Amino acid sequence: DSMSDTNDRLLEVVTMPCPICGLVHGIEKHICTGVISIKGVRVEYPEEYFRCNNPVFSDDENIFESGEMLNNNLARARAQYKLRK
């Protein structure tokens, strides 16, 4: 899982409704090195995501991306792919 990368770092804490636990609380916004395959080419890119720290959920269950985040992550991946061509 790329989101548990050793390059992972905390960017900020955002207070918002959490889709994981259903509560409004401080959710950690992280960045790490994501890895994706585009047309058979392995591409590394900066990937942002949110993490809910509610102890009820395991590390596999507590990570999510907003729609905007997902779009930005994919745009960064495509940009890195174009640089490799």
**CA-based radius of gyration for the chain:** 14
% of the chain residues with pLDDT over 90: 79
- For residue 13, the model assigns a pLDDT of 97
Amino acid at 34: G
Which tens digit of pLDDT belongs to each residue from 22-49?
999 999 999 999 999 999 999 999 999 9
Which long-range CB contacts under 8 A does 61-65 form with residues at least 24 apart? 61/20, 62/20, 63/3, 64/19, 64/20
pTM for the model stands at 0.84
Q: In the chain, what's the furthest Cα-to-Cα distance?
A: 44
Say if residue 55 is exposed, middle or buried (CB neighbours under 10 Å; 0-12, 13-18, 19+).
Answer: exposed
% of the chain residues with pLDDT over 70: 93
- For residue 5, the model assigns a pLDDT of 53
